[in-house]
Structure 1
Amino acid sequence: MVVTRAYRGVPAEERRQQRRQQLVETALDCLHDDGLAGVSVRSVCARARLTPRYFYESFEDLDQLLLAAVDAVSDEVAASALRALDAAPDDLAARVRAAIDAGYGVVVSDRRKATALLVAASGHGALRERRQQVITRFADLVIDRLPVLHAFGVAERRRARAEALFLMGGATEVIEAVLAGRLRLSRAAVVDQLTSSWLAVLTAGPTPAA
């Protein structure tokens, strides 16, 4: 039987979750400041002021921590976009714009999160695979959440999903270029451009059968 004790009134499991969150936040700091190649278990632990013992109670290795950091940012982007979409007026353009602006706002207001989602997630191995999973997840959220697509049949939904994946991948590249300074666009201009692209697809309607 395992006995866990509270420390200063904080249960052991809660302390473990706090340390895990501290490591994820520190990973975002290290990724942004040192780049993917400069991050290590040692550097994260030193910056978080935690011993490796506490690292390995939550993560098997560095890749698992980096995936957790990417997932945390992805979850925040999705949650912010969906909240904005649900709160927007019952108008397709307004809902699409609100969702894009809210999701983009997460990464443009905290460059650590932009680094994790747009730079680290295009790195190596598991991180590269996770980038593709994130793009697919966001595309599927659009397909599942917008009522305008509910009337589509199977073939039309497949077409819409393919176009959503194309647009999401392109949007990721545009956002990365803007945040890296390779493309000079204001937040409003980015949101306008992405909104126009999405509306062009969403308002096209089902493709007539051949």
Structure 2
Amino acid sequence: MVFMNDQPRSYGGVDGALRVAQRRETLIEAGLELMGSAEPELTVRGVCKKAGVAARYFYESFTDRDALMSAVYDTVITDIAVSTQAAVDAAETERGKALAGIANIVRTIAQDPRRGRLLFSSALTSPVLAEKRRASTTIFIGLLAANAKTFYRLNDSGHLTLTATFLVGGLAQTLSAWLDGYIDVTEEELVAECAAILLAPALPPS
């Protein structure tokens, strides 16, 4: 067995650490493929077979299956959070920011449904993922709250947290239902409807 603290050697002119990093990325991609499937099942043997990597190399980067699951989830959620914030920052108007943020999240999940199943699927019941989902929800609530203070005319208060929590939770459930086919709308329609709901708390009362 190759342990994580062993120093990898160079081979064929390729730095050992680079080869370890490449194998780690391959294992993460294989883990996403298995976890994001219609019938998710993740085992060390299965992910190594999917990645085309000998089982002994799994332990270069991961202590066990749970460590790989955490890495897969963290990779997906970080990519979505970073790209969504970049899309929001690039928009010039408050309405444009709401549309850009929603569009980026929906587009990312539509282009790779595995990500949506990883984030929302009830078939994935691992305690590790349950904790990751709670943590990522907190991250997105904070992200929305940080961008919503001026837009929703709310100060740092329970009202801001309540609004952000409600919107993030509702969006997650909506995306889950859309991926499962319970909501029959196009990607463009989903973006427009979700953006309208996000914009609603900022509208003056009639």
Normalising TM by the smaller chain, what interval?
A: 0.7 to 0.9
Structure 1 residue 152: Cα displacement: 4.3
Letter of the 2:155 counterpart? G
Q: What does residue 112 of structure 2 align with?
A: 110
Query: Contact 1:82 / 1:99 at 8 angstroms: preserved in 2?
Result: yes
Q: What does residue 150 of structure 2 align with?
A: 148
Query: Contact 2:149 / 2:156 at 8 angstroms: preserved in 1?
Result: no
| Equivalent residues, number | 200
Structure 1 residue 64: Cα displacement: 1.6
CA separation of 1:98 and 1:188: change in aligned 2, threshold 3 A: same
Q: 1:80 aligns with which of 83, 87, 94?
A: 83
Letter of the 1:182 counterpart? Y
SS at match of 2:86: helix
Q: Deviations over 1:150-208 (max 9, x none)?
A: 974332xx311222112111111111111111210111221122212221234569xxx
TM-score (norm 1): 0.85
Query: Contact 2:84 / 2:101 at 8 angstroms: preserved in 1?
Result: yes
Structure 1 residue 34: Cα displacement: 5.9
Measure, in 2, the Cα distance between the counterparts of 1:166 and 1:71: 23
TM-score (norm 2): 0.87
Measure, in 1, the Cα distance between the counterparts of 2:8 and 2:48: 24
Q: What does residue 3 of structure 2 align with?
A: none
Q: Deviations over 1:126-173 (max 9, x none)?
A: 211111111111111122235616974332xx3112221121111111
Task: Structure 1: state its 5+ residue gaps.
Answer: 206-210
CA RMSD of aligned residues (A): 2.3
Query: Contact 1:85 / 1:99 at 8 angstroms: preserved in 2?
Result: yes
The residue correspondences of 1:10-159 to structure 2 (distance < 5 A) are: 10-33=14-37, 35-36=39-40, 38-89=41-92, 91-119=93-121, 123-146=125-148, 148=150, 152-155=154-157, 158-159=158-159
Task: Structure 2: state its 5+ residue gaps.
Answer: 1-5
Q: What does residue 196 of structure 2 align with?
A: 196
Measure, in 2, the Cα distance between the counterparts of 1:141 and 1:171: 14
Q: Which runs of 4+ in 1 moved over 3 A?
A: 2-5, 149-154, 202-205
Q: What does residue 208 of structure 1 align with?
A: none
More off after superposition, 102-111 vs 144-153: 144-153
Structure 1 residue 102: Cα displacement: 0.8
Q: Deviations over 1:12-36 (max 9, x none)?
A: 1111111111001001111233633
Letter of the 1:164 counterpart? A
SS at match of 2:107: helix
Measure, in 2, the Cα distance between the counterparts of 1:183 and 1:76: 25
SS at match of 2:10: coil
Measure, in 2, the Cα distance between the counterparts of 1:162 and 1:33: 33
